[in-house]
Amino acid sequence: MPEPAPAFQYATLSQQHGAARLGMWTFLATEVLFFGGVLLAYVVYRYGYPSAFAEAARHTHIAIGAANTAILLTSSFLVAWGVEAAKQGFGRFAALLLWSAAASGLLFMALKGYEYRLELSESLFPDDGFAITGSVAGGARLFFVFYFIATALHALHVAIGIVVLAAIGARARGGAYSAAYYAPLTVAGLYWHFVDMVWIFLFALIYLPGRA
Amino acid sequence: MRYFPPPRALTISWLALLGLLALTLFAAYQPLGAFNTVVALTIALIKAAIVAALFMELRGDDGLTIVFASAGFFWLAVLFWLALADFLTRPGFPPRLSPWL
Amino acid sequence: MSARNYLTEDTRLRSWFFTTDHKRVAILYFAGITFFFFIGGAAATLIRLELLTPQGDLVTSDVYNRLFTLHGVIMVWFFLIPSIPNTLGNFVVPLMIGARDLAFPRLNLTSWYLFMIGGLITLYAVFVGGIDTGWTFYTPFSTMYSNGHVVVAVVGVFIAGFSSILTGLNFIVTIHRMRAPGLTWHRLPLFLWSLYATSVILVLATPVLAMTLLLLGLERFFGVGIFDPKIGGDPLLFQHLFWFYSHPAVYIMILPGMGIVSELIACFSRKAVFGYKFVAWASLSIAAFGFFVWGHHMFVSGQSVFAGLVFSFMSFVVAVPSAIKVFNWTATMHKGWIRFDAPMLYALGFLGLFTIGGLTGLFLACLAYDVYVTDTYFVVAHFHYIMVGGAVTAYFGGLHYWWPKITGRLYPEYWARAAAILIFFGFNMTFFPQFILGTLGMPRRYHVYPADLQVWNVLSSAGASVLAVAYALPLFYLGWSLFFGAKAPTNPWGATGLEWQTPSPPPVHNFAVTPKVIRDPYTYRPDGTEQPQNA
């Protein structure tokens, strides 16, 4: 396998790696602010309607949420392990790890879909047929507006991540990465860990309030 | 296929993350009043820090990358700080509608 | 042309649409924003025509609402924001830092496609019936009552936002990682400092706009009521989110203009910029402080008095770095060998107009006075002085300055000077009367007004017709120069930057050998001759 050459605009491979990594971190900063917009809505309305938010959060399915958290944390571990393995030249084993992480992502999506179905059947979609009534109805609806928008956007990110991990895994299997050339690998890893991180916060905000 | 053992730091982080998940679930059911939220968010922050430092390899990164990683959170804090400067001091929030609407 | 350059390398049409050369992408952007500029300008013309008379005799109020919304949406998102960064910035950033291209050339092209797709979707919204919300899309009007095509327009702006983010990301990484050997941060030309600061805003503010528009679109489409007071939502939350982007967006428009003016004043005064480090860091502090002031758009909207105080104070603070720049440009010209070439005329115009725009901004940062002039023509005049008098004037200055480098042709100097002077007078005639109209109490966004305000409106409309002619002029003489202009030398202005050390137009990968930088920018000898940064 010949030594990979840098793209034409770079002088060296390490300059190219530095650029790719910095670019990904910049992109992740934009993602923080993207999710930040809807998080602000959550914080403001939770401050305004504390009891309604606690009541609404009790209607979420914490068992599914917790299982999904464990699944994503594990998948992140698999990705970090896979990146390290591919760098050390264990391409085929790295592919196995990355594909397992992608499969965990699929499992996450399946559970999320099942959860959505349960919620729709319980009339928790925040339109005029909303199940929670009484004085907390408005605030609880705002909670579920946040819930559906934030989790759907997160799921979209997971879906993109699954495709990326599958593709990167295939390339790792072909021995594309080495200690000298691994930029796409770490960049994909950064993205997946970030998606994991978003979920860590969503889990705390959506499933945990109002349980005590 | 040759087996590559997971680096120790990664395994420990993974186990710590799962442990923290169990801890936050347990804490959520304890009647701590306002502290439930504090505990849940603190544990979430610790988990995120572990992911960032070890899985995302920020631990050994240069200062520039750390600045880039923090920039998003800093500006997010600006958004929250100044927006809440309004919501926390506005008598008209939360909005109350007249009963005949 | 004898030597092969980026224009002659491959002349097939598809080589343009699949190009990853930053110089060609810049030209694609140039075509795009020029198209949108004239569409937005046509709407402005109709608005000024309607306002010639106090009665609503040209268009109905409903059509008028759609006209000013079209004007605002197109000019803000499809002309002003991409204008300098995506055309001139795209072209000169790699040249100025001695690189072969941007860090991510394919991302750069992607950004252009996103921009055009977003723009065409927004234009489609106009053609199927338009939007009547104003460019700010305030809720609950936009989500519940407007009969315009809000969702389509919002989708268009949403997509264009990603083009902004990708450009900002590309510039940041390029400036960090691709600088030529010897080109330290404090040797960077000031245009790059200002583009770096602009990119920080593009990257950190635009995602919040994306989320805001997404929430708005979802609320209107699904009727879920995020900002709907009926279920306890708060329309002011929309305004907070919207202005968290849209106030810094003003700096996206003006910072690159400030960067160009720094280049022009140094080059045509044959002197180093006075207080280089202050001007450089002022750009970054404007970008940072720009995020702390958004609430001054909401002084009368019902936000808390405390928040109003905080935002008012912050707005005064952000004036400091802008003032530093104005003083330093003036000091740069002091005892310089000033040449009044067309780009310098634009720079001088910028200096005057930006100062008026900036000082009237202080009026508006003042809580008590703002209550009096909110939503009047005073505000309209103020932001046009910044965005048109400032940003657009600087854009034209930069366009003339780098035109020989971009096209390899010289434009006719006297026509260019005439246009620059005409723009300055036409602009003042259009917008200065609007300060008076606003002080007299004429509200914005109405198509009828009391008869005793007609004289100022006639003056403004007359100025607008001068301005329209002045803005159309460059289209003709710059177009003419493409075919009949004299061949441009490598360094027609005797400037010091790296972009002037490679042929006009530059070869495909910019430099035959990567330049080595050995000195600060803007180094001129006492006799006014230049010392290039790399030789």
Residue A1 has a pLDDT of 47
User: What is the rounded radius of gyration, in angstroms, for the C-alpha atoms of chain C?
Assistant: 23
- Residues of A within 8 A of B87 (CB-CB) are 44, 47-48
Rounded Cα distance between B10 and C312, Å, is 49
In the structure encoding, which two tokens stand for residue C55, read together? 């009665």
Contact C157, C118 (CB under 8 A): yes
CB count within 10 Å of CB A67 equals: 15
Contact C118, C163 (CB under 8 A): yes
Contact A53, A139 (CB under 8 A): yes
Residue A106 has a pLDDT of 98
In the structure encoding, which two tokens stand for residue C511, read together? 């430099």
Q: Say if the Cβ atoms of A36 and C165 lie within 8 Å.
A: no
Residue C418 has a pLDDT of 97
3-class DSSP state of C514: coil
Write down which chains contact chain A via at least 3 CB pairs under 8 A. B, C
DSSP state letter for C75: I
Q: Encode C7-41: b = buried (16+ Cβ within 10 Å), e = exposed.
A: beeeeeeeeeeebbbbbbbbbbbbebbebbbbbbb
State the count of interchain CB pairs (< 8 A) between B and C: 52
Sequential DSSP letters for C336-364: ------HHHHHHHHHHHHHHHHHHHHHHH
Mean pLDDT of chain B: 92
Q: What's the complex ipTM?
A: 0.94
pTM above 0.90, yes or no: yes
Q: Say if the Cβ atoms of C207 and A137 lie within 8 Å.
A: no
- CA C135-C250-C289 angle, 5° bins: 135
Residue C101 has a pLDDT of 96
3-class DSSP state of C443: strand
Contact A98, A165 (CB under 8 A): yes
Tell me, yes or no, if A34 comes closer than 8 A to chain C by beta carbon: yes
Q: Say if the Cβ atoms of C244 and B89 lie within 8 Å.
A: no
User: Going by C-beta distance under 8 Å and a sequence separation of 6 or more, which residues neighbour residue A121?
Assistant: none
Q: Which of A24, A205, A172 is nearest to A97 (CA)?
A: A172
Residue C230 has a pLDDT of 83
For residues A137-150, average pLDDT? 94
Rounded Cα distance between C518 and C535, Å, is 7
C-alpha pair distances (Å), C41 with each of C38, C70, C307? 5, 10, 36
Among the partner-chain residues B51, B72, B88, the one whose CB lies closest to the CB of A76 is B51
Rounded Cα distance between A54 and A63, Å, is 17
In the structure encoding, which two tokens stand for residue C236, read together? 């002011």
Tell me, yes or no, if C338 comes closer than 8 A to chain A by beta carbon: no
Please report which helix (H) or strand (E) contains residue C193, including its range. Answer: helix C190-222
Q: How deeply is B99 buried, as exposed, middle or buried, from its count of CB atoms within 10 A (0-12, 13-18, 19+)?
A: exposed
Main-chain dihedrals φ then ψ at residue C304, nearest 5 degrees: -70, 155
Rounded Cα distance between C7 and C403, Å, is 14
Residue C224 has a pLDDT of 84
Within 13 Å, how many C-alpha atoms sit on residue B1's CB side? 16
* Residue C376, strand partner residues: C443
* Residue A130 to chain C, least CA–CA distance (Å): 10
Q: Say if the Cβ atoms of A47 and B43 lie within 8 Å.
A: no
Q: Say if the Cβ atoms of A92 and B1 lie within 8 Å.
A: yes
> Please, what sign has the CA dihedral across residues A89, A90, A94, A95?
positive
DSSP state letter for C89: I
Task: Determine the length of chain B.
Answer: 101
Q: Which of A182, A187, A173 is nearest to A28 (CA)?
A: A187
Contact C148, C66 (CB under 8 A): yes
Q: Which residue in A10, A22, A25, A33 has the most chain C C-beta atoms within 10 A of its own C-beta, making it the best mutation to test that interface? A: A33
User: What is the rounded radius of gyration, in angstroms, for the C-alpha atoms of chain B?
Assistant: 20
Residue A5 has a pLDDT of 85
* Residue C347 to chain B, least CA–CA distance (Å): 33
Q: Give per-residue pLDDT as tens, A87-123.
A: 999 999 999 999 999 999 999 999 999 999 999 999 9
Tell me, yes or no, if A178 comes closer than 8 A to chain B by beta carbon: no
Task: Determine the length of chain A.
Answer: 212
Residue C1 has a pLDDT of 43
Please report which helix (H) or strand (E) contains residue C265, including its range. Answer: helix C235-269
- In tens digits, chain C (535 residues) has pLDDT values of 446 899 998 889 999 999 999 999 999 999 999 999 999 999 999 999 999 999 988 999 999 999 999 999 999 999 999 999 999 999 999 999 999 999 999 999 999 999 999 999 999 998 888 899 999 999 989 988 888 899 999 999 999 999 999 999 999 999 999 999 999 999 999 999 999 999 999 999 999 999 999 999 999 988 888 998 888 889 999 999 999 999 999 999 999 999 999 999 999 999 999 999 999 999 999 999 999 999 999 999 999 999 999 999 999 999 999 999 999 999 999 999 999 999 999 999 999 999 999 999 999 999 999 999 999 999 999 999 999 999 999 999 999 999 999 999 999 999 999 999 999 999 999 999 999 999 999 999 999 999 999 999 999 999 999 999 999 999 999 999 999 999 999 999 999 999 999 999 999 999 999 999 999 999 999 898 999 999 8
Tell me, yes or no, if B80 comes closer than 8 A to chain C by beta carbon: no
CB count within 10 Å of CB C326 equals: 17
In the structure encoding, which two tokens stand for residue C259, read together? 């960067």
- CA C261-C266-C270 angle, 5° bins: 150
Q: Say if the Cβ atoms of A145 and C223 lie within 8 Å.
A: no
* Residue A44 to chain B, least CA–CA distance (Å): 7
Within 13 Å, how many C-alpha atoms sit on residue C55's CB side? 2
Among the partner-chain residues C230, C295, C307, the one whose CB lies closest to the CB of B97 is C230
Q: C66 or A128, which is more confident?
A: C66
C-alpha pair distances (Å), A130 with each of A133, A148, C225? 7, 13, 12
Q: Say if the Cβ atoms of B83 and C240 lie within 8 Å.
A: yes
Q: Which of C286, C263, C281 is nearest to C273 (CA)?
A: C263
Residue C128 has a pLDDT of 87
* Residue C443, strand partner residues: C376
Contact C306, C356 (CB under 8 A): no
CB proximity under 8 Å: A 99-128 to C: 126-128
Q: Say if the Cβ atoms of B28 and A212 lie within 8 Å.
A: yes
CB proximity under 8 Å: C 194-223 to A: 203-208, 210-212, 214-215, 218, 222-223
Tell me, yes or no, if A34 comes closer than 8 A to chain B by beta carbon: no
| Full 3-state SS string of B51-93 | HHHHHCCCCCCCHHHHHHHHHHHHHHHHHHHHHHHHHCCCCCC
Residue A21 has a pLDDT of 94
Main-chain dihedrals φ then ψ at residue C522, nearest 5 degrees: 60, 40
Rounded Cα distance between C439 and C429, Å, is 17
A191 → chain B, closest CA residue: B56
Residue B98 has a pLDDT of 52
Rounded Cα distance between A126 and C328, Å, is 56
* Residue C530, strand partner residues: C524
Tell me, yes or no, if C177 comes closer than 8 A to chain A by beta carbon: yes
> Please, what sign has the CA dihedral across residues C302, C303, C309, C311?
negative
Q: Which of C395, C390, C389 is nearest to C432 (CA)?
A: C389
Q: Say if the Cβ atoms of C305 and B93 lie within 8 Å.
A: no
